[in-house]
Structure 1
């Protein structure tokens, strides 16, 4: 473990290292994967993309393309990707624009318009490389005609706070966009289109990542209307009526458009990150178990269940096959139904509920953080928990239950000094959780 603290010396430091290992495994690296790119034809080579990992993906793609293609072909490369504010990187041939996430803004709309300009009037001799990563749905903003940016922002805000799953949110996004749900592929036709992705989606369905701009869409307008009705999302009558017509429908599997588009390549996933963390834990002489890479549900409910499970496993008389010292690792994407006006993201909400469930029991430590370095819309990746956390909160006048009820987990962990602040990681395979029981 070189200079890293062992789990016995400093459990929280160990968990922080485990998170770093998981993030490192999620970074895009075209060279290491040994991907072979097709020889470009005589036309344009256009690299476009969107997401929190877009800049890192573009930079890695450039480095691999420089080695794989001839100098003349590489010099023809051009492009533009859009990423979240603070997640940019300088690239050689591809321009990087930063915009707002999770709620879209004007910068994202301008970036989308410029991308549409890059792919206009392409021919069969042209090549388009699309780089997709989590966050791309909000960052690549091109509402269909008749919908304003303000209306799109309002609908996004409502979807984000109602407790809808990412599948439900992206279903609505696809049907209100000129780009998402396979429509970008329509606009690129007849150019050759390649798609590379970093998966932040439970189950790793590429058509959901960044709302699948270059892939066929299995959801329907009827599905989008069902989501809007289920969560009582307020939308203009124009949208509600439009979703009852073919004009709002996305291209589907079987559309001849996709017959010449190769299967997308998923570069890295939550599973890759969790497996890297598991190997590191086992090398550190811990029993390690991956519970799942696709856990969903209300963050506070999941936290309560994980807390109860941890208490049982920590008992001396537990007859579980999972023996201490033990680390339980999981990923996925929980949701938060906002009930109060507090600050926090799904990972701190999960962890505060977990803290309430274990109630300071000895020998239980935990970390919950987003691999993109940003928990929701705050400046932290997540937080850590130790048996001292609740008492520290009491010492600073924090009421744990009150903070839970107000979704004010950021304030609680900020007071205890347990927030995890990493800055942008420039990748995203969603949540990472590890519970250490010693």
Structure 2
């Protein structure tokens, strides 16, 4: 991999992060004109008291920018943000009508986060029909909104969730139980705010932008059956182990959320709430596309919904790179192999039929600079070792090992995997860059990348390899729309 490709990958990634900065997303979505609050072309009168609440990794920037737009219209606000955020990237404003509460150390619910959630509850449940509540939501919001229903305690609730996770419960099952045990999640916040009008501005960190998953859906109705949480807990043989308070709570939740009598719900949504997705990974991917094209690459966004296990994704990306390298360096007109490959791994990459048809018809030789394929999403890592790293560094290293097996001489292949929040696992890196020559270069430095990969020790590898230059360090970016993956295949 050349220094040029390394710099290009960094430049493309940073453009994608810049495009989803919360301050700009708020400015692009919210304005005030002649006493009208305009949100994505919808108009609201602001001749009424305005209140703001928020929770998540990116809501500080959202809140400060929104306050500057609302001006004297803002009466009061409470926003919960990750612990230590002011020390790491931000300075607490000298004067603000918004109270900022730090909590959720290491993105885990704690007493400070519970206190902040309680303050949010106290604010929203006093609102009246003439009030306007603006809710700011971003990734990490669930951990900052951990207010259990009476009589359960936070520690009891967390122990239930930990037990389910340890037993193999998936994210849908965990969210179902979280919502059932929480005051504000699963539409609880919106119900408490009734009859005030509610506007929810959301920076999505989940594939497909499902409103009921982002921060566990505080402003969207919960249509899980009344006994769904009990069935999940029973499935993992935990019901008999529950503390009395949790069992009492579950037994009291004996009616469906949507029994037709809830006057706050109309046509499947809260009648007094409007939810707006103001930012997601599609925006980041499109910004990456624009920058890659400006650098001269034949560029394409293949998917913003990449999921699955990192080990499998690394193999898929390596095979894709091999096929693109073959097309770049030949006069082949038959691209059915590429089409079949993309269809075969549809479940992992979530590439649409129309996108597949577009990509196989690309002129891979139209640019002397090369091809840049862009992906976004959030794969997962199965931790087998005790090393230090994150899913992005693990993916970049795994890709490098897989692409090396093809021994491609006809193309320079580089790959970047980074988290848009700037933090990949318990490290100070956003991610890393791999390449088709990384393994050979590492062996020349007497470093065995396979040993680091098998121990989930990708950060240690990248810290010593190439003097650490392949690590991408941005610090906390103040935003979070999952991960960006960039694959460059360039002629030699």
TM-score range, shorter chain: 0.7 to 0.9
**Equivalent residue of 1:137, what SS?**
coil
Do residues 264 (structure 1) and 260 (structure 2) align? no
Do residues 94 (structure 1) and 90 (structure 2) align? no
Do residues 85 (structure 1) and 83 (structure 2) align? yes
Q: Distance in 1 between matches of 2:310 and 2:259?
A: 33
Q: 1:214 to 1:250 in 2, by over 3 A?
A: farther
Kept after mapping to 1: 8 A contact 2:157/2:246: no
Q: Which residue of 2 aligns with 1:20?
A: 14
1:346 to 369, 377, 391: 391
Q: Which residue of 2 aligns with 1:104?
A: 109
Q: Which residue of 1 aligns with 2:177?
A: 172
Kept after mapping to 2: 8 A contact 1:295/1:334: yes
**Equivalent residue of 1:200, what SS?**
coil
Following superposition, the deviation at residue 258 of structure 1 comes to 3.5
Q: Which residue of 1 aligns with 2:377?
A: 332
For residues 204-250 of structure 1, the C-alpha deviation after alignment (integer angstroms, 9 at most, x for no partner) is 12222111111112444655566667778899424885686461878
Do residues 371 (structure 1) and 420 (structure 2) align? yes
Q: Distance in 2 between matches of 1:234 and 1:300?
A: 35
Q: Distance in 1 between matches of 2:237 and 2:456?
A: 21
Kept after mapping to 2: 8 A contact 1:87/1:425: no
Q: 1:22 to 1:226 in 2, by over 3 A?
A: farther
Kept after mapping to 1: 8 A contact 2:412/2:436: yes
**Equivalent residue of 1:277, what SS?**
helix
Q: Distance in 1 between matches of 2:477 and 2:445?
A: 31
Q: 1:30 to 1:344 in 2, by over 3 A?
A: same
**Equivalent residue of 1:115, what SS?**
helix
Following superposition, the deviation at residue 110 of structure 1 comes to 1.7
1:282 to 281, 293, 297: 293
Moved over 6 A (4+): 158-164, 229-235
Q: Which residue of 1 aligns with 2:351?
A: none
2:253 to 244, 247, 254: 247
**Equivalent residue of 2:45, what SS?**
coil
For residues 323-361 of structure 1, the C-alpha deviation after alignment (integer angstroms, 9 at most, x for no partner) is 261111111121223333222222222222212211275
TM-score of the aligned structures, taking structure 2 as reference length: 0.77
1:217 to 215, 222, 232: 222
**Equivalent residue of 2:200, what SS?**
strand
Q: Which residue of 2 aligns with 1:31?
A: 27
Q: Which residue of 2 aligns with 1:421?
A: 473
Q: Which residue of 2 aligns with 1:138?
A: 143
Deviates more, 1:263-272 or 1:150-159: 150-159
**Equivalent residue of 2:175, what SS?**
helix
Specify the structure having the higher radius of gyration (Cα): 2
Q: Distance in 2 between matches of 1:248 and 1:84?
A: 35
Number of aligned residue pairs: give it: 424
TM-score of the aligned structures, taking structure 1 as reference length: 0.86
Kept after mapping to 1: 8 A contact 2:415/2:434: yes
> How large is the RMSD of aligned CA atoms in angstroms?
3.1
